[in-house]
Amino acid sequence: MRRALALAATPGVPMVADTRRVGCVLLDDAGRTIAEGFHAGPGTPHAEAAALAAAADSAAGTTAVVTLEPCDHTGRTGPCTQALIAAGVRRVVFAEPDANPTAAGGQARLEAAGIEVVSGLLADEAAALKRVYDVARAEQRPFVTWKLAATLDGRSAAADGTSRWVSGTAARRDTHRLRALCDTMLVGTGTVLVDDPLLTVRDAEDRPLAVQPLRAVMGRRDLPADRRVLNSDAQTVLLRTRDPREALAQLWARGRQHVFLEGGPTLAAAFVRAGLVDEIVCYVAPFFLGAGLSSVADLGIGTLAEAFRPRVADVVVLEPVVEGEEPNVRFILTPQHPADHQERE
């Protein structure tokens, strides 16, 4: 099941509003892997169908290990239950039931066909994988991951404006890994004008992935034609608004499910104040600047009792991969959801 979960989280796979990440592994009676598959985005075969296609005539008698209960409806593709039955799969093990009423009923269909079904294996880990999907559907807007890099005293740039690089090479590679799990990169016009970012996903050798997230720039200012975000490396959309809710509404209308917010401190503060941050990824570098640009702008907080206090979900020390660099610490934090940090007047 852990292999199926890893397949479900394959980087570079575009997931839009109504699409789930799912992985599937087919095993023989000795526990050997016969074939694997994962859902590669809207309109592509579901994980089970992809694994069955890879197995060809070897699927009969196997056990299908799937992160999600096989669907029992026809949408962009046919029902996975029928494909498993037709292939002669003997046993199905899945992590969590499908809560979507349109697709549910797979277990009953499989059992009626004489297939043994086991549910609940690593259900908690599978639930964590689908949190983005659940929040997006519940809120009817994209899930927002805010990424920032800061020094020990909370600075994202020095007093002279230099910010390359606050984080180390290991942190930047980790950032690209996380970017690859999102379908949209979001910054403000100020970041584009000052930093001229490329906003693409690249591997450890700085090569771009074949599938790139949508690049979104929000704000009312026009962008010079020579900005790198306007090149042909990925699709870019300009959101002519300064309102975070309106920006997310426009992205939701485009079918976007997961936004990676990499804008500057002003844009970050606007999303935090609006209660529109669902996850925070913070890289902390082990040095002080004492002055310079804060990692987040004014949140309207006047006293310690009003502090914005997300819950620490994970802490990892990222060891240096380049000689001479120092370790960075990555924090993953989760605000209460639905947000209890309502927008302050």
- 179 has binding-site annotation: yes
Measured CA distances, 214 to 137, 254, 292 (Å): 20, 10, 31
Active-site residue among 48, 69, 96, 279?
A: 48
* 297 marked as binding residue: no
| 111 annotated active-site | no
What is the CB-side half-sphere exposure of residue 176 using CA atoms within 13 A?
19
Could you tell me which residues come within 8 angstroms of residue 309 by beta carbon, excluding any fewer than 6 positions away?
Answer: none
Q: Which two tokens stand for residue 345?
A: 């007047």
> Nearest Cα to 212, choosing from 186, 235, 189?
235
**Binding residue per annotation — 234?**
no
Flag whether 46 is marked binding: yes
Question: Are the beta carbons of 47 and 8 closer than 8 angstroms?
Answer: yes
Q: Say if residue 71 carries a ligand binding annotation.
A: yes
The torsion defined by the Cα of 199, 203, 205 and 211, in degrees rounded to 10, comes to -70
* Count of CB atoms situated within 10 Å of the CB of 163: 17
- What is d(CA 138, CA 146) in angstroms, rounded to the nearest whole number? 19
| 294 known ligand binder | no
Is 183 annotated in a binding site? The answer is: no
Can you read off the two tokens belonging to residue 317?
Answer: 């020390």
The verdict on whether residue 279 carries a ligand-binding annotation is no
Please check if 313 is assigned to a binding site: no
Report whether 24 belongs to an annotated binding site. Answer: no
Binding site for NADP(+), residues?
Answer: 149, 165, 191, 195, 199, 264-270
Binding site, residues?
Answer: 46, 71, 80, 149, 163, 165, 179, 191, 195, 199, 202, 262, 264-270
Binding site for substrate, residues?
Answer: 163, 179, 202, 262
Binding site for Zn(2+), residues?
Answer: 46, 71, 80
Please list the active-site residues: 48
